[in-house]
Structure 1
Amino acid sequence: MGKRRTRCLIDDLPLHIKDQVDAMLADTRITYWEIVEYLDSQGYAISKSAVGRYALRLDKSTQRLLEAQEQTRALVELIKKNPDADYTEGAMQIMAGELTRKMAQAQEEWDEMDLDKAGRLMVALSRSKVYKDKVRQDMQKKIDLAFSGMESDIMAAIKSDAALAAQLKEVLQKAKEKMMADD
């Protein structure tokens, strides 16, 4: 079953008139009544409420585009600063934010996405988070084991120099912390 897109009389206007309406809507000094009068002068009888609904839909689309551009810009900046970083967390945060907003709006959005589908997406997202946390815990255990074994081996080799042993222990601790950092 295809999803129906919301349409109004303004969508069916000739492009040059629709563009003029869009420009008039962008100018906050122009009232909806003035836009209705303009349309009437062009031979199109469209109500003030229809203009208002169209303006709300246009604003919502513009806002979504701006938010998507901002999220993309932030992700690109993150990639530039940390080329070796794990970006799944950022992508998951964007998806969680979008799903949360979709559920919170609960207007026409509910018509566009079945509640079952939104729920399945939230479950999949939470499973991904649990999996990521488990992988992180497993990685931490492996790192702890590896560094513990390495520390024991090195300490046995340099037992005679206590200052060097303390310094090496500090270096190993810093390395372990850097490996688990979220940068």
Structure 2
Amino acid sequence: MTEKVRKPRSDSKMYQLPKDVLDQVNDMLLNENMKYSDIQYWLETEHNMKISLSSISNYAVKIYQAAQRISDDLERTKFFVDYIGDKSELDASKATTAILKSGLLQKIATAEEEFNEMPVEKAGRLLVELNRSEIARERLELDYKKKTELAFEELETRMYKLIKGYPELREKLVEVLKEAKQKWLEQQEELK
């Protein structure tokens, strides 16, 4: 089996720069008055490094895209935090799963070169694991619902035995239990 040789990234020279030099380049990229040719000239004259304009340009595009993704993720996270804060009854695990799923799907959709470096199987496994945790949570909810319904039935049976000789009290109890069960079911639907 022959190993596939990867073509070097067009901006790979940028990542080979010393950290302090790369930090200065990043600062220059933030300066709207600075052109890529100015950065190229600075690297060549100050640090004796020849880097093409396309390498600088490709690096800048990736930096801007990464900054935009981080900004978008922060905005999305802030929205979820604000939303959860307004709804204290909201299940935090649902919100956390939604955030993770959204971030993973966003990464898969926009990763381009990063996605090429991440094996598809790994991305798929991560998505499958998130789906499994969601299914497990749904099973827990269903189990909780069944147990609660059994508890209601047990309560009804016991109460009926206690008030067997009082028909009008029994009718009132049936109404109260039906109302309580209906309210509980409505609350469960609202939480979904």
TM-score scaled by structure 1? 0.69
Report what 1:160 is aligned to.
168
Structure 2, unaligned runs of 5 or more? 1-8
Q: CA distance change for structure 1 residues 113 and 8 in 2, over 3 Å: closer, same or farther?
A: closer
Moved more, 154-163 or 101-110: 154-163
Aligned ranges 1:98-109 → 2 under 5 Å: 98-105=103-110, 107-109=112-114
Q: CA distance change for structure 1 residues 65 and 23 in 2, over 3 Å: closer, same or farther?
A: same
Report what 2:63 is aligned to.
58
Report what 2:3 is aligned to.
none
Are 1:116 and 2:127 an aligned pair?
no
Deviation at residue 41 of structure 1 after TM alignment: 4.2
Provide, for residues 117-162 of structure 1, a one-character-per-residue CA deviation record: whole Å limited to 9, x for no partner. Answer: 2222222222222222222222222222322443455467474256
Question: Residue 39 of structure 2: which of 35, 38, 41 is its match?
Answer: 35
Q: Is the 8 A contact 1:140 1:180 kept in 2?
A: no
Deviation at residue 25 of structure 1 after TM alignment: 1.4
SS of aligned partner of 1:59: helix
Number of aligned positions between the proteins: 179
Q: CA distance change for structure 1 residues 103 and 65 in 2, over 3 Å: closer, same or farther?
A: closer
Provide, for residues 44-72 of structure 1, a one-character-per-residue CA deviation record: whole Å limited to 9, x for no partner. Answer: 43221111111122223323443454455
Give the distance between the partners of 2:157 and 2:149, measured in 1 at CA: 12
Are 1:25 and 2:29 an aligned pair?
yes
Report what 1:144 is aligned to.
149
Give the distance between the partners of 1:70 and 1:35, measured in 2 at CA: 31
SS of aligned partner of 2:168: coil
Q: Is the 8 A contact 2:73 2:103 kept in 1?
A: no
Report what 2:102 is aligned to.
97
Give the distance between the partners of 1:180 and 1:51, measured in 2 at CA: 54
TM-score scaled by structure 2? 0.67
Q: CA distance change for structure 1 residues 85 and 106 in 2, over 3 Å: closer, same or farther?
A: closer
Structure 1, unaligned runs of 5 or more? 1-5
